[in-house]
A and B are shown apart, each in its own frame.
Chain A
């Protein structure tokens, strides 16, 4: 019997091998897909395990409420608030610069610019997103701060204003592109409705398109905050690395990220409390940016579902 149909059985055998190889490939691809999940778990695992001994030495209450962060002093004090205040102040300055400029750019590109202008400006914006932050740090310290010192002579070399402004400029293309995407997704029929009632472009943009795209625009702002909080090199270079519990932009201060860099630049003693403290700071940073990112993505998604 088997001899009667040798061709078919050979084909079948080949088929089995074929299916087996296909299966192997699928499993290999799935494992690569899993790497993203593994990285997230890795981040959480490392941050928690490396900072656990830190929280045995420093109570959570002191960590979250003390306003003194002096890891290098003889009397060590670990209160995260000075680092948080620095982070929030610089991010705040950046937003004051980036939100109006970014929004205007987005409205202009989406509602006013001709096709040709938009196609020229968008790639340039994309280019700017690729500029390394260490270069922006150079500008903040050696170009923007000296200019600010001419206007305000008491400004110290290391301050939060200069890096904040530069960070704002850095974030503009980011806000502009996310907000513009949101506004372009508003259906044309809504604009046409407004035009038919005799509204001008500006009126349509402000009273029809922007309200319809609110969640997308807000998402752009939220994601921008998250970027500002996580930004490292600009502040590490230009804001000074001294923890300082203040919201005054003309003082120097350290951010969470700048602290991590300043410790990493020194001699890291594996297992020492200095080493552990950067992981504790890292947890705070990770929680802040992760919740903002989730919030941002959620708002953005809510927007796309509506139309």
Chain B
């Protein structure tokens, strides 16, 4: 009899214990939700603050005016044109090189020290602080190659930053393609390059594109390396237009022109003591944020839809 009572006591003790631990479970899931929720709210508040502060400046004139000493009339014309031109250079350098490296590492390289060497370097480059790329560009592009503080230099610098992103994205996209796709192409007599170009790359295109968009979004917001190469913070002129109405219709003089980019313009305005300039900075920040979030959003959406669509 006493034994059974003891048994009852044990059961009760266990019930209490289970209840306590279950409570811990619930408490932690509330903590988790609270942490994530407050982070999300904090960031939302920050971005709203940026948009609200910058709202009075959000008009067409802001995009069509040069920066000026008077905060009211100042705009970001030279900055967004500069950003766009720099990105063109970055795109045309980083994309072919990054995709080619990715293809080489996944499709061509034989396992061994050489492939390992490249792989280790790519992994490390992704972790190098962006300002170090700025120092490399300052020493190499600006002075060693004599390219000066030009759009070309900035474009090359940002392409160094973008390269690891494109390489990694290309490799991941290629790795997901099953071998039988390649084998089918080989079976009808295609060469390795034909297999790669006509089949592997076609299927990998979505993933590669995702990497390119994310890389470009990062390049838009990068500030430190572009400051390091000595980009000017006050530019009140536009580079020569890339497209002309006389033959040969395209000129490359803009590559050598001085420039500024959106994040540098923002940095410059933050550093001024007057509040009016801070409003300009907020508006520029809102433009940058909207651009990068939009691009990243498209890239993430793209990745998820690929993951859903492809069934080998």
Are B125 and A39 interface neighbours, CB within 8 A?
Answer: yes
For the residues of A in contact with B, the DSSP-based class is helix
Instruction: Please measure, in the bound complex, the distance between the C-alpha atom of A237 and the C-alpha atom of B268, giving whole angstroms.
Output: 10
Stretch of A70-78, A186-194, A279-287 contacting B (4+ beta carbons < 8 Å): A279-287
| Closest CB in chain B relative to A81 CB, distance in Å | 20
Task: Kindly state whether residue B205 has any CB partner on chain A within 8 Å.
Answer: no
Contact A230 B140 (CB under 8 A): no
Question: Which of A200-208, A210-218, A243-251 is the interface stretch?
Answer: A200-208
Contact A36 B167 (CB under 8 A): yes
Cα of A198 to Cα of B19 in the assembled complex, Å: 12
Query: CB distance A265 to B282 under 8 Å?
Result: no
> Which chain B residues numbered 135 to 188 have a C-beta less than 8 Å away from chain A?
135-136, 138-140, 143-144, 160, 163-164, 167
Q: Which of A134-179 contact B (CB under 8 A)?
A: 134-135, 137-139, 141-143, 169, 172
Is there an interface contact between B46 and A105, defined as CB atoms closer than 8 Å? Answer: no
The answer to whether A233 touches B224 (Cβ under 8 A) is yes
Bound complex: CA of A135 vs CA of B266, how far in Å? 8
**Which one of B100, B191, B218 lies within 8 Å of A18 (CB-CB)?**
B191
Asked if B304 is at the interface (CB within 8 A of a chain A CB), the reply is: yes
Cβ-based interface call for A91 (8 A): no
Q: How far is the CA of A267 from the CA of B118 in the complex (A)?
A: 37
Q: Are A268 and B230 in contact (CB under 8 A)?
A: yes
**Chain A residues within 8 Å of B104, by CB:** 29-30, 32-33
Question: Is B263 in contact with A202, judged by CB distance below 8 angstroms?
Answer: no
Chain B CB within 8 A of A272 CB:
no
Instruction: Write the residues of chain B forming the contact surface with A, with a CB cutoff of 8 angstroms.
Output: 18, 21-22, 24-25, 28-29, 31-33, 35-36, 39-40, 42-43, 46, 49-50, 96-97, 100-101, 103-105, 108-109, 117-118, 121-125, 127-136, 138-140, 143-144, 160, 163-164, 167, 191-193, 214, 217-218, 220-224, 227-230, 233, 263, 266-267, 270-271, 278, 281-282, 285, 288-289, 292-293, 295-297, 300, 304
Which 3 residue pairs across A and B have the least CB separation, nearest first?
A: A132-B221, A230-B129, A108-B32
